[in-house]
Every structure is written in structure tokens, then in C-alpha cells.
Amino acid sequence: MEDTLKRLLIVETEAEQLVAESKAEKERIIQQALIETHQAEQQFKSKIPDIYAEFMQKAEQRAVQSIAELNKRYEERKTNLRELAIDNQQKALEAAVQIIMQAKNNG
């Protein structure tokens, strides 16, 4: 019976030791996870200026492209209006000449 009690005490001590080691391992894993999370957060924060700069560069490129497209459309519209004005000027001159000729013929 004494041997059984000794074995039970030894097993209980070993079990307590395993529980303590498991708790220590759990705490170590938690601390390691916290450290890795903090490192990942710091890495992300350190990349924010690069992400922002890349975003601004792309936004500027899109703005430059949009301005170029607007300028192209403006020039096309200006050309069309100029051609229309020249065409209408010719028609106006012809109409004026016709009116003058009619007035001369009638008068």
C-alpha cells in the first residue's frame, strides 16, 4: 500500500509538473503571438508612407491623363467651332451679297 501511495504521489507530482510546463508553454506561445502581431503591425505602419506615395502617384497619373483627354477634346471642339464659324461666315457673306444684289435690282 505504501508503494502505491508513493507511486500516486510521484504521478501526482509529475502531473503537476506537466500542468505547470503546459501553462508556461501556453504563456510563451501567447507572448510570441503578441510579439509577432506587434511586429506585423509595425511593418504595416512602416509601409503606409509607401502605400500613400504609390496611391498619390497613380492619382496624379490619372489626373494628368484626364487633363490630356480634356485638352484633346477641347482642341477638337475648338477646331470644329472654328470650321463652323468659317463656314457660317462664308454663308453670311453670300447672303449679304444676295441681299445687296436684290436691293440693287429692286431699287
Q: What is the dihedral of CA 87, 88, 94, 99, to 10 degrees?
A: 170
* Residue 24 pLDDT: 97
* pTM score of the predicted model: 0.52
Both ends of the chain: CA-CA distance in Å? 150
φ, ψ for residue 78, nearest 5 deg: -60, -45
* Residue 106 pLDDT: 80
| 64-78 confidence digits (pLDDT tens) | 999 999 999 999 999
Dist CA 32 CA 26 (whole Å): 10
Tell me the average pLDDT across 91-95. 90
Share of the chain above pLDDT 70, in %: 99
Minimum mean pLDDT among 8-12, 30-34, 90-94, 102-106: which range?
A: 102-106
What are the boundaries of each domain within the chain? 1-80
